[in-house]
């Protein structure tokens, strides 16, 4: 019998991609044909984990396929799989004697299609059963069905496990399938493996049988699932242990980790069920699976993945150790769990039709997660923190011309991957929050509930959401009848960017004239390039009212029929002695520029000690707006810096966060110039009072009641030691010395957890190679992912060129023990260090081919090396150099096109800033000293 093995294109052969001889398939459109629809999958996968030299799987998939239109081919996805063509079978299920078969096959390697031409036509209305055998190695690429490992410290042996990561388009690497989100079908998964392991999949186990052919192997069959998209399928074979928890309504909830980390699962096992319960109540829909597992995977490229009923995480995203994890680490775990569990509804139950609307998954999960965390831990004020964090990110990202709309056309897999970006997540979440605030809670919830009800087990696009929300809004009278959500929201999701609103007050007449245009960082772009019109809900308050609680719009800025800007006049404003502030609690994504008098009134209130009358989020807004407007030249730096001076009395976290984000960008440039001295003294003056107020680096954490003050102390401590404020460096070095003096530093660490980053970094910066080696040894011995990250970030703080160079090199050498998924933290740490910057940039530019291969195919991870380079480049010549580097190395920057665009534009705006503002900033800082 002839066994024809077809190795699909894309497989690496001796380091070379196989030539695409067969890629000229007759079918080249990027979407699957619509003539067929999968009705049900039966997937059997046998996993071999015993021989580390030969980790692989083999399986077969049986798909029931409904024919919607007559056709002579079956086209589906498969990639890097060995398919045994001679054993593919095809049957018409309506009658056993209607014979059919596969006559020939072809491959389209651009879109990963595997095309089977059939002997007879497939007839509309019939259901066929297709069976395909396949096999492949468990790859090392962190996608598809891949291998991961950890060191068992007791036996001192490497233990292997297998795990899947299918989103967005990697189910096709694990089994042939219709790998698009709208082809939903129920799945029956059966896993074969050695009986010493545990098998997990989306559903609970149905039955376990022994394997007749292979000794000590079993077959584990799972229950049939609800209809679901392929990218949400998951399975794993491992030797992990678990912590059980149970929901009140009896959904079984388990948290899994390698045995030696099981004691770090308590927090996730407690928080997970709580937030799942909250969502059931919020959405009015019960979690539909009988069980849910969450599992920490040692090698994992994303942060976490929402597979239905089997949610996978990086260790740092799920595990929590009260001895090693900071408050920020804990909050991050909560927020990530809340995000993935929100997907169980937004994404899994209702899925976007196509990746164009990815934000319906990621924007929702991001926003709903902050509702979840806020509900369970209101004392964290997570909602305010995350909302401001998202806004600060998007103000920057979306002010680049190279940004893109929330909803964007997608044709290639690389484009899907690039869409998992700040626009889908943070901007998506920000516009949902905006709707929540202008519609009010009742309408917003009702709209979401009806959207989820209506599209359960199906797919939706954004217009479906707009419709549900419009209906709810009109029913509850939270939107004028003449308005609909689609007109408003299309201006936010189909357009790139966000507006700046110019407010010009008429102090005599008690009115203000408002106009809008797109806000851009690149100041070379003229008015005509700044078009655009956004529907803006206008909330505002005055010095007399000071009503910051009301975020409902008092008026709207509308757009004309052809999208033209319609100026707006607001009446009934106070006289010349009172300020107005627009955008209460930053409910909407826009910047505001006032006339000079209004700015002066605001600065007056901020600096005369009455600043607390302005809502804390609006204080953060004023800082961010003033510094942005100064950056782009709409405002004098003198005014902006005077406003910032009020911070000497500020004691809240959010305004400081806003200030530090902005000052960081100035620092990145100024610290490479002769005037850094003044900037340093200015920062010292600004932060000394808050540093003293928070009791410096002293361990006061047990007496801090407001959780945000812990975060504030962490952040201020970090800046204080960088700028050698008061006793910061001395105290940090004392802590480190005490740690080094411990007989067993791996089990006893006297450094307060929330200050460890600062203490380690300061000690490495001011210390010797033996301090560095001490920390590196702790890294290697640590069993806690959060601690490992803290250390990785600190090891980049050295000022010794050779130490930094050595660190860069070991970062990219897998034998040294830094996992690939963590390497960017080490690189970033070196690159954000003023000494390391040039080393890291040169390393990147000189080794780009190697780095590309190192990260391949996860180009998203590689793109994270770029921001430190762009943010610190401000010389025209360096910008030009980088530009030609890019054009000479297109091949090794493939899939990073979007990131490269942003990098270049950021560099360009820095060049502009240096040329236009540098002198003025230096002067105004000097004046304030
Ligand atoms: N669905 C994503 C995971 C994902 C990301 C798959 C990129 C494919 C490509 C998951 O829900 C997610 O958003 N994870 C985040 C963490 C989250 C808490 C923001 C991530 O991986 O960064
Ligand atoms: Zn997500």
| SS3 of 342-396 | HHCCECCCEEECCHHHHHHHHHHHHHHHHHHHHHHCHHHCHHHHHHHHHHHHHHH
Share of the chain above pLDDT 70, in %: 97
What is the tens place of the pLDDT at every residue in 533-572?
Answer: 999 999 999 999 999 999 999 999 999 999 999 999 999 9
Could you tell me if 514 and 503 are in contact, meaning their C-beta atoms sit under 8 angstroms apart? Answer: yes
Burial call 371-405: b when 16+ CB within 10 Å, e when fewer: bbbbbbbeebbbbbbbbbbbbbbbbbbbbbbbbbb
Q: What sign results for the dihedral spanned by CA atoms 305, 307, 309, 312?
A: negative
The 3-state DSSP composition of the chain as helix, strand, coil percent (nearest 5) reads: 45, 20, 35
Atom 19 of ligand 1, residue of closest alpha carbon: 336
Distance in Å, CA 391 to ligand 2 centroid: 18
Q: What is the mean pLDDT of residues 568-584?
A: 97
DSSP code of 558? -
Q: Across all residues in the chain, what is the average pLDDT?
A: 95
Q: What confidence score (pLDDT) does residue 21 get?
A: 36
> Which residues does 29 contact at the CB level (< 8 Å), separation at least 6?
none
Atom of ligand 1 nearest to the CA of 335: 18
pLDDT at position 1 over 80: no
The C-alpha atoms of residue 339 and residue 372 are separated, in whole angstroms, by 9
Cβ atoms < 10 Å from Cβ of 480: 10
DSSP code of 322? T
Q: What is the mean pLDDT of residues 786-796?
A: 98
pLDDT at position 617 over 80: yes
pLDDT at position 209 over 90: yes
The C-alpha atoms of residue 771 and residue 193 are separated, in whole angstroms, by 46
Instruction: Choose which residue among 301, 304, 351 to substitute to test ligand 1 binding: the one with the highest number of ligand atoms within 8 A of its C-beta.
Output: 304
What is the tens place of the pLDDT at every residue in 798-811?
Answer: 999 999 999 999 99
Residue 581's beta-bridge partner residues?
541
For the Cβ of 143 lying below 6 angstroms from any atom of ligand 1, the answer is: no
Identify the band that residue 25 occupies on the pLDDT scale cut at 50, 70 and 90.
Answer: low
Q: What confidence score (pLDDT) does residue 929 get?
A: 85
Query: Which SS3 state, helix, strand or coil, does residue 706 take?
Result: coil
Nearest by Cα to 341 from 407, 277, 408: 277
For the Cβ of 336 lying below 6 angstroms from any atom of ligand 1, the answer is: yes
Identify the band that residue 112 occupies on the pLDDT scale cut at 50, 70 and 90.
Answer: very high
The C-alpha atoms of residue 786 and residue 749 are separated, in whole angstroms, by 15
Residue 208's beta-bridge partner residues?
220
Which H/E stretch holds residue 512? strand 511-518
Instruction: Choose which residue among 234, 305, 426, 859 to substitute to test ligand 1 binding: the one with the highest number of ligand atoms within 8 A of its C-beta.
Output: 305
pLDDT at position 16 over 70: no
What is the tens place of the pLDDT at every residue in 589-598?
Answer: 999 999 999 9
Q: What confidence score (pLDDT) does residue 24 get?
A: 52
Burial call 636-650: b when 16+ CB within 10 Å, e when fewer: bbbbbbbbbbbbeeb
The C-alpha atoms of residue 319 and residue 329 are separated, in whole angstroms, by 9
What is the tens place of the pLDDT at every residue in 356-404?
Answer: 999 999 999 999 999 999 999 999 999 999 999 999 999 999 999 999 9
For the Cβ of 667 lying below 6 angstroms from any atom of ligand 1, the answer is: no
Give the tokens for residue 319: 């595990």
Identify the band that residue 12 occupies on the pLDDT scale cut at 50, 70 and 90.
Answer: very low
Compute the C-alpha angle 657/659/663, nearest 5°. Answer: 120
Q: What is the mean pLDDT of residues 160-179?
A: 98
Q: What confidence score (pLDDT) does residue 820 get?
A: 97
Distance in Å, CA 850 to ligand 1 centroid: 26
The C-alpha atoms of residue 844 and residue 863 are separated, in whole angstroms, by 11
Distance in Å, CA 901 to ligand 2 centroid: 24
> What do you get for the CA distance between the two ends of the chain, in Å?
88
pLDDT at position 9 over 50: no
Atom of ligand 1 nearest to the CA of 339: 18
Identify the band that residue 7 occupies on the pLDDT scale cut at 50, 70 and 90.
Answer: very low
Nearest by Cα to 236 from 161, 173, 152: 161
Could you tell me if 139 and 148 are in contact, meaning their C-beta atoms sit under 8 angstroms apart? Answer: no
Atom of ligand 1 nearest to the CA of 340: 11
Could you tell me if 79 and 177 are in contact, meaning their C-beta atoms sit under 8 angstroms apart? Answer: no
Which H/E stretch holds residue 743? none
Nearest by Cα to 732 from 684, 693, 696, 687: 696
pLDDT at position 22 over 90: no
Identify the band that residue 246 occupies on the pLDDT scale cut at 50, 70 and 90.
Answer: confident
Atom of ligand 1 nearest to the CA of 417: 9
Active site residue 340: yes
Distance in Å, CA 318 to ligand 1 centroid: 13
User: How would you classify the pairing of strands 540-542 and 5-7?
Assistant: unpaired
pLDDT at position 8 over 60: no
The C-alpha atoms of residue 837 and residue 843 are separated, in whole angstroms, by 10
143, 223, 340, 652: the catalytic one is 340
Q: What sign results for the dihedral spanned by CA atoms 172, 228, 222, 87?
A: negative
Share of the chain above pLDDT 90, in %: 93
What is the tens place of the pLDDT at every residue in 851-873?
Answer: 999 999 999 999 999 999 999 99
Nearest by Cα to 793 from 827, 766, 751: 827
Under the phi-then-psi rule, with left for phi > 0, alpha for psi from -120 to 50, and beta for the rest, what region is 381? left
CA atoms within 13 A on the CB side of 424: 19
Residue 687 has phi, psi (to 5 degrees) of -100, -10
Instruction: Choose which residue among 171, 338, 420, 863 to substitute to test ligand 1 binding: the one with the highest number of ligand atoms within 8 A of its C-beta.
Output: 420
Give the tokens for residue 357: 């609307």
Could you tell me if 606 and 647 are in contact, meaning their C-beta atoms sit under 8 angstroms apart? Answer: no
Atom of ligand 1 nearest to the CA of 343: 11
Atom 3 of ligand 1, residue of closest alpha carbon: 305
Could you tell me if 220 and 74 are in contact, meaning their C-beta atoms sit under 8 angstroms apart? Answer: no
User: Cα separations (Å) of 477 from 322, 433, 444, 483, 831?
Assistant: 48, 19, 12, 11, 53
Of 22 and 922, the structure prediction assigns the larger pLDDT to 922
pLDDT at position 15 over 60: no
Could you tell me if 450 and 474 are in contact, meaning their C-beta atoms sit under 8 angstroms apart? Answer: no
For the Cβ of 457 lying below 6 angstroms from any atom of ligand 1, the answer is: no
Give the tokens for residue 289: 């699976």
Radius of gyration of the chain (CA): 29
Nearest by Cα to 373 from 335, 409, 347: 335
For the Cβ of 305 lying below 6 angstroms from any atom of ligand 1, the answer is: yes
DSSP code of 803? H
């Amino acid at each position: 019998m002839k066994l024809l093995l077809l190795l699909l294109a894309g497989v690496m052969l001796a380091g070379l991609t196989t030539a695409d001889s067969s890629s000229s398939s007759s079918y080249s459109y990027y979407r699957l044909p619509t003539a067929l629809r999968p009705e049900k999958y039966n997937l059997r996968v046998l996993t071999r984990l015993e021989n580390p030299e030969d980790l692989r799987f083999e399986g077969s998939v049986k798909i029931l396929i409904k024919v919607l239109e007559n056709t002579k081919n079956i086209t589906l996805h498969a990639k890097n799989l060995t398919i045994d063509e001679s054993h593919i079978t095809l049957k018409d299920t309506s009658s056993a004697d209607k014979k059919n078969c596969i006559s020939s096959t072809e491959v389209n390697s651009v879109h990963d299609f595997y095309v089977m031409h059939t002997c007879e036509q497939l007839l509309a209305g019939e259901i066929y059963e297709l069976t395909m055998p396949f096999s492949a190695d468990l790859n090392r690429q962190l996608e598809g069905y891949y291998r991961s490992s950890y060191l068992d410290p007791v036996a001192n042996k490497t233990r292997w496990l297998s795990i899947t990561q299918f989103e967005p388009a990697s189910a096709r690497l694990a089994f042939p399938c219709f790998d698009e989100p709208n082809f939903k079908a129920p799945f029956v998964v059966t896993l074969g493996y050695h009986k010493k392991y545990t098998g997990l999949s989306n559903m609970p186990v149905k039955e376990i049988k022994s394997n007749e052919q292979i000794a000590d192997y079993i077959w584990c069959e799972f229950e049939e699932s609800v209809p679901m998209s392929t990218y949400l399928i998951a399975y794993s074979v491992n030797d992990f242990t678990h912590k059980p928890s149970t929901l009140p309504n009896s959904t079984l909830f388990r948290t899994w980790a390698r045995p030696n980390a099981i004691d770090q699962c308590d927090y996730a096992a407690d928080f997970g069920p709580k937030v799942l319960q909250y969502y059931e109540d919020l959405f009015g829909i019960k979690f539909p699976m009988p069980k849910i597992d969450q599992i920490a995977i040692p090698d994992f490229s994303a942060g976490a993945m929402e597979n239905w009923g089997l949610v996978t995480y990086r260790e740092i995203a799920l595990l929590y150790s009260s001895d090693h994890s900071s408050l920020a680490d804990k909050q991050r775990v909560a927020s990530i769990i809340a995000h993935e569990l929100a997907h169980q509804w937004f994404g899994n139950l209702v899925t976007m039709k196509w990746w164009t609307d990815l934000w319906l998954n990621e924007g929702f999960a991001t926003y709903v997660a902050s509702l979840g965390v806020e509900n369970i831990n209101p004392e964290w004020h997570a909602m305010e923190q995350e909302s401001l964090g998202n806004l600060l990110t998007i103000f920057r990202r979306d002010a680049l011309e190279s940004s893109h709309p929330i909803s964007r056309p997608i044709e290639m897999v690389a484009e899907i991957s690039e869409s998992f970006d700040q626009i889908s997540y943070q901007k998506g979440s920000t516009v949902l929050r905006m709707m929540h605030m202008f519609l009010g809670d009742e309408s917003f919830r009702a709209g979401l509930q009806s959207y989820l009800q209506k599209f359960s087990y199906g797919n939706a696009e954004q217009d479906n959401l707009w419709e549900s929300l419009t209906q709810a809004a009109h029913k509850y009278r939270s939107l004028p009848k003449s308005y609909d959500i689609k007109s408003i929201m299309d201006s936010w999701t189909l357009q790139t960017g966000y507006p700046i609103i110019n407010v010009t007050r008429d102090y005599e007449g008690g009115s203000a004239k408002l106009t809008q245009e797109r806000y851009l960082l690149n100041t070379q772009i003229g008015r005509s390039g700044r078009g655009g019109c956004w529907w803006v809900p206008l909330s505002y308050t005055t010095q007399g009212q000071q009503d910051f609680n009301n975020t409902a719009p008092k008026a709207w800025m509308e757009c004309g029929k052809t999208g033209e800007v319609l100026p707006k006049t607001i009446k009934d404003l106070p006289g010349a002695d009172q300020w107005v502030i627009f955008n209460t609690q930053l409910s909407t994504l826009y910047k505001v520029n006032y006339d000079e008098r209004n700015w002066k009134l605001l600065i007056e209130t901020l600096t005369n000690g009455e600043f607390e009358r302005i809502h804390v989020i609006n204080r953060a807004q004023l800082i961010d707006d003033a510094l942005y407007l100064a950056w782009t030249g709409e405002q004098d730096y003198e005014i902006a810096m005077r406003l910032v001076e009020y911070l000497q009395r500020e004691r809240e976290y959010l305004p400081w966060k806003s200030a530090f984000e902005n000052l960081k960008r100035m620092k990145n440039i100024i610290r490479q110039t002769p005037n850094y001295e003044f900037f340093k003294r200015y920062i010292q003056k600004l932060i000394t009072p808050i540093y003293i107020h928070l009791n410096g680096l002293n361990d006061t954490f047990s007496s801090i009641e407001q959780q945000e003050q812990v975060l504030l102390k962490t952040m201020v401590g970090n800046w204080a030691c960088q700028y050698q404020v008061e006793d910061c460096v001395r105290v940090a070095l004392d802590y480190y010395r005490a740690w080094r003096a411990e007989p067993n530093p791996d089990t006893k660490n006297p450094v307060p957890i929330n200050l460890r980053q600062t203490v380690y970094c300061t000690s490495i910066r001011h210390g010797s190679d033996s301090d560095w080696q001490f920390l590196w040894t702790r890294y290697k011995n640590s069993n806690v992912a959060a601690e490992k990250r803290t250390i990785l970030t600190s090891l980049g703080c050295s000022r010794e060129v050779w130490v930094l160079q050595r660190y860069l090199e070991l970062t990219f050498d897998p034998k040294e023990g830094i996992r690939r998924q963590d390497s960017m933290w080490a690189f970033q740490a070196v690159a954000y260090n003023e000494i390391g910057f040039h080393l890291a940039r040169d390393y990147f530019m000189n080794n780009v081919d190697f780095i590309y291969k190192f990260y391949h195919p996860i180009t998203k991870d590689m793109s994270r090396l770029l921001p430190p380079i762009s943010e610190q480049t401000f010389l025209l010549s360096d910008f030009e150099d980088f530009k030609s580097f890019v054009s000479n190395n297109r091949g090794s920057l493939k899939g990073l096109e979007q990131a490269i665009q942003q990098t270049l534009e950021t560099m360009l705006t820095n060049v502009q800033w240096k040329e236009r503002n540098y002198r003025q900033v230096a002067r105004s800082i000097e004046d304030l000293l």
